[in-house]
């Protein structure tokens, strides 16, 4: 298997799909120069400016063009630079792309991928640091994906490009440099979680960049409770079966995410588990998420917004 960074894995996935399918193309600001993080670097040399398309600085225009092109039979990959900027294109994505297949009785489809880098990263401050996956999970018609490993960024991006529904694909900016083995032959389906670690006392469900804090918390729990860790990978549809099966065995659930706790997707998981397994639970379901404040520019204040390994370990101990 090849060793790639998270960023390189995403670029390799897009290139592979473009080689396999001439209807796949990408559009966004500065893609010809490699994109804001370099995740498109070199692709224009192979595929040309007709398939790696530089656009004006107008998110609504970019998304609107992609929706129309998808309805006409192509598979556009839309680069939004930051998830925060994609809010300028919410009407095109939420009111048009997400609803077209239903409103046209299945006669039209919008197989586009909207790449939206998310998360706190290097003091990017309040307008460049948000994790908004729960917003899109709320919208019927959208698929929402949050890969964590380079292998998942490769496999899930390929699956997202092949999907016949619009996919909001959210890559965490703090993971770009993370490296790992990538099996380019693996077929990763959307909607299937990854069992990171088996355990018997507590089920911990997380996704995206916060899994780094989860991994750092595990040594703090080495001589204590046995924690089963699940990487959700796809926010919607999410893998209810894996989560419910795990909590049936452990009797305890902790959901951890970087997004604001209020209205976060952890609440959906908590409500589902509490409703389905009320009689099996040995402790109340717990959630950890960011406070409901704008993300500060100041590095110490930004750090205070993040979920820490110590918080996770303390919460797990408290559940027992």
The residue written with tokens 């040594």 in the block is 219
Q: Write the DSSP string, 104-135.
A: TTTS-----EEE--BS--SS--TTS----HHH
SS3 261: coil
Between CA 44 and CA 54, with CA 48 as vertex, the angle to 5 degrees is: 65
Q: Is 88 exposed, middle or buried (0-12, 13-18, 19+ CB in 10 A)?
A: middle
CB 43 within 8 A of CB 82: no
For residue 7, the surrounding DSSP H or E stretch is helix 6-20
Would you call 128 a catalytic residue per the annotation? yes
Q: Which residues contact 122 (CB under 8 A, 6 or more apart)?
A: none
Q: Which residues pair with 181 in a beta bridge?
A: 3
275 phi/psi in degrees, rounded to 5: -70, -35
User: Of these residues, 128, 138, 172, 257, which one is catalytic?
Assistant: 128
Report the residue count for the chain.
320
Report how far residue 197's alpha carbon sits from residue 203's, in angstroms, rounded to the nearest whole number.
Answer: 10
As to burial, measured by CB atoms within 10 angstroms (0-12 exposed, 13-18 middle, 19+ buried), residue 37 is middle
Task: Verify cis geometry, omega within 30 degrees of 0, for the bond prior to 237.
Answer: yes
Single out the residue of 137, 126, 161 nearest to residue 238, CA to CA.
Answer: 137
Report the DSSP pairing between strands 179-182 and 194-197.
unpaired
Q: Distance (Å, rounded) from C-alpha 306 to C-alpha 300?
A: 10
Q: Which residues are catalytic?
A: 128
């Amino acid at each position: 298997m090849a060793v790639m960074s998270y960023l390189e894995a995403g670029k390799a996935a897009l290139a592979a799909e473009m080689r396999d399918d001439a209807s796949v193309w990408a559009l966004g600001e500065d893609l010809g120069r490699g994109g804001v993080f370099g995740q498109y670097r070199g692709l224009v040399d192979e595929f040309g400016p007709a398939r790696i398309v530089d656009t004006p600085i107008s998110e609504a225009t970019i998304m609107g063009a992609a929706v129309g092109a998808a309805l006409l039979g192509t598979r556009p990959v839309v680069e939004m630079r930051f998830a925060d900027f994609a809010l300028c294109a919410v009407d095109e994505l939420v009111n048009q792309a997400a609803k077209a297949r239903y409103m046209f009785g299945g006669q039209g489809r919008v197989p586009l991928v909207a790449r939206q880098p998310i998360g706190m990263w290097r003091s990017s401050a309040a307008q460049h640091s948000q994790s908004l996956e729960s917003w899109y999970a709320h919208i019927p018609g959208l698929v929402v994906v949050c890969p964590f490993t380079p292998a998942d960024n490769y496999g899930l991006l390929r699956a997202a490009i092949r999907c016949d529904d619009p996919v909001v694909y959210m890559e965490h900016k703090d993971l770009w440099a993370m490296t790992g083995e990538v099996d380019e032959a693996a077929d990763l389906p959307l909607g299937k979680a990854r069992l990171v670690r088996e355990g018997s006392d507590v089920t911990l469900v997380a996704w995206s960049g916060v899994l780094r804090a989860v991994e750092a918390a595990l040594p703090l729990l080495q001589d204590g409770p046995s924690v089963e860790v699940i990487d959700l990978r796809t926010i919607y549809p999410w893998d209810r079966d894996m989560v419910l099966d795990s909590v049936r065995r452990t009797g305890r659930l902790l959901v951890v995410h970087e997004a604001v706790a209020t209205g976060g997707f952890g609440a959906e998981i908590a409500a589902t588990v509490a409703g389905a397994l009320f009689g099996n639970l040995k402790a109340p379901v717990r959630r950890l998420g960011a406070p409901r404040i704008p993300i500060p520019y100041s590095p110490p204040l930004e750090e205070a917004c993040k979920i820490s390994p110590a918080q996770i370990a303390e919460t797990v101990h408290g559940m027992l």
